[in-house]
Amino acid sequence: MRFICLIFLSGFLFGYLPAQEKHAYNPPIDVQHYAFAITLNDLNDEIKATAAITVLFLQSTQTISFDLVRKNDRGKGMDVLIVKENEETIGFEQEESQIKLQLSNPAKAGETRTYRLSYAGIPADGLVFSKNKFKQRTIFADNWPNRARNWLPCIDHLSDKASVDFMVTAPDHYKVISNGVLVEESSVEPNKKFTHWRETVALPTKVMVIGLADFAVNDVGNVDGIPVSSWVFQQDRKNGFYEYGQAMEVLLFFMKKVGPYPYRKLANVEAITIFGGMENASAIFYNERSITGKSSSSEELVAHEIAHQWFGNSATESDWPHVWLSEGFATEMTNCYLENKYGADTLKARLKADRTAIIKFTKIRFTPVVDSSEKENYLALLNRNSYEKGGWVLHMLRRKLGDTLFWKGIQTYYAEFAGKNASTDDLRKVMEVVSGMSLKEFFQQWLYSPGHPVLQVKWKYNYKRKLVLLSIRQQQKEIFSFPLELAFKNGAPLKNHNQSYFIKDKITQVEIPMSAKPTRVIADPETNLLFEGSIVEEKAPVP
């Protein structure tokens, strides 16, 4: 996902604090499939729904729980009316954010059963009823990170993936978009329409969605058999169709560079979401402010969200501290796409801007990229570490391995974890196998440790010995190991001289033969190192 002019360092977003998880995530079940039948209306924000949930039991038990927020004293939340297994009604207990089922017959490990829950209520969050910028009523799901529980009974954790059917009955002026492929769209009663979408690929709940609006829809075309469409508010059809149409080129690039697209369609949808863009599987939701009439501003956003279809949706991080495997990957993949289209200078400019943002962020929050400090407020993990620093780490890994091995590693990682969950260590192991290199130190210092090199580079020219004398000091507490490239600028007709040095100590002294004094020394001229620092020339006597 991406943000548009939002402050998120405090962990709050539009005043929103995600539902807290007060229980350890260790369920005895693995959900295999959800089938949600939801009835909506224009008179109020109440939903009436049933959920058929098929589960595989991982251990023997007589009780199971699903995440679901019950009705609060403000009348927001879900009331469960009845729970059945087959035709038998079973007991249940609703707690603040869970429903506990008492199984009539204890389940054994390896069994598969289906439970049918009927419920109703006004969602406190997760499914948002509002008016768009044109004052028209819309209904959009916005589940990330663990907000699906506000309207769907589910295992609301990114490591539990399941296929899903959404069957929506709503006023017939709406068009309904969701994950997967359209199974049915039909009139069911006066002024009502039934829409059924089915996703057969297992998804985490964070990217399961429905969206209802008076859309204008454009079938853009297909990329290697994948249909691409744009869904925008009627008043935005001209600019929206143009800007979202950029998805064709982006999709083709990632299919070639990463691997097969994991879903059967790609819909780009103008929506109401607290994020700038939300990468819902096969149905990406973009904030309504994203359509500006300027393709350059939307192209980056479209590329970022499409990259998530591979990284975050299909190959999903195993737990929230590893969210950089989603956001850092989408950041780097976007940079690679824009570099491929516009050239190396575009990449360098983006990396420099990202580096500045990362350095500034460390003054506010000094934590590693893989950050286990947030136990409940997962939105706080959407910061410069998981986005820009995560992307920078992948850029440095690319430079360390070279393009051929790097892309082979990315393709191998995706192929191994498509449809599964992965940790940062899983990525490291794949990259080590592909490259034949040990990457433990690299991953430890850049991902599991906070900060980055803070360098003081001093230099002077010894005229008598015709040497440039360098002193490179790491000023940060923890010592990093990294290659540092220096460029020595000389006036015409002398050529510039670039040389790389491996830095691993607190202070590194270097002597460089040079026939004439350089006019300037530049650190990291190609923008390949995440660091901050200064270069100072020390005056030396002229003979």
Residue 137 phi, psi (nearest 5)? -70, 135
Q: How far is CA 119 from CA 32, 78, 502, in A?
A: 21, 6, 62
The two tokens of residue 312 are 């975050």
Residue 376 phi, psi (nearest 5)? -135, -40
Taking the C-alpha atoms of residue 312 and residue 96, their distance in angstroms, rounded to an integer, is: 29
Helix (H) or strand (E) holding 108: none
pLDDT at residue 494, as a whole number: 45
pLDDT at residue 15, as a whole number: 34
Cβ within 8 Å of residue 322, ≥6 positions away: 370, 422, 423, 424
pLDDT at residue 12, as a whole number: 29
Instruction: Provide the CA 495 distance to its chain's centre, in angstroms.
Output: 44
Indicate the Cα dihedral angle 498, 502, 503, 509, nearest 10°: -60
Question: Quick check: 195 and 65 in contact, CB under 8 A?
Answer: no
Return the number of other C-beta atoms located less than 10 Å from residue 28's C-beta: 16
Domains and CATH numbers, the chain: 29-307 (2.60.40.1730), 319-448 (1.10.390.10), 454-537 (2.60.40.1840)
Identity at 333, one-letter amino acid code = M
Burial of 252 (C-beta count, 10 Å sphere; 0-12/13-18/19+): middle
Taking the C-alpha atoms of residue 297 and residue 316, their distance in angstroms, rounded to an integer, is: 27
The two tokens of residue 392 are 């920078």
Q: From first to last of the 543 residues of the chain, give the pLDDT tens digit.
A: 775 443 333 222 333 334 444 444 568 999 999 999 999 999 999 999 999 999 999 999 999 999 999 999 999 999 999 999 999 999 999 999 999 999 999 999 999 999 999 999 999 999 999 999 999 999 999 999 999 999 999 999 999 999 999 999 999 999 999 999 999 999 998 999 999 999 999 999 999 999 999 999 999 999 999 999 999 999 999 999 999 999 999 999 999 999 999 999 999 999 999 999 999 999 999 999 999 887 777 999 999 999 999 999 999 999 999 999 999 999 999 999 999 999 999 999 999 999 999 999 999 999 999 999 988 899 999 999 999 999 999 999 999 999 999 999 999 999 999 999 999 999 999 999 999 999 999 999 999 999 999 999 999 999 999 999 999 999 999 999 999 999 998 865 445 678 899 999 999 999 999 988 999 999 999 999 999 998 999 886 666
The two tokens of residue 476 are 């940060």
Question: Around 250, how many Cα atoms within 13 Å sit in the side-chain half-sphere?
Answer: 27
Buried b (16+ CB within 10 A) or exposed e, 66-96: bbbbbbeeeebbbebeebebeeeebebebee
pLDDT at residue 185, as a whole number: 98
Describe the strand order of the beta sheet including 181-189 as a list of residue ranges. Answer: 88-89, 77-85, 112-122, 47-57, 29-39, 161-171, 192-204, 181-189
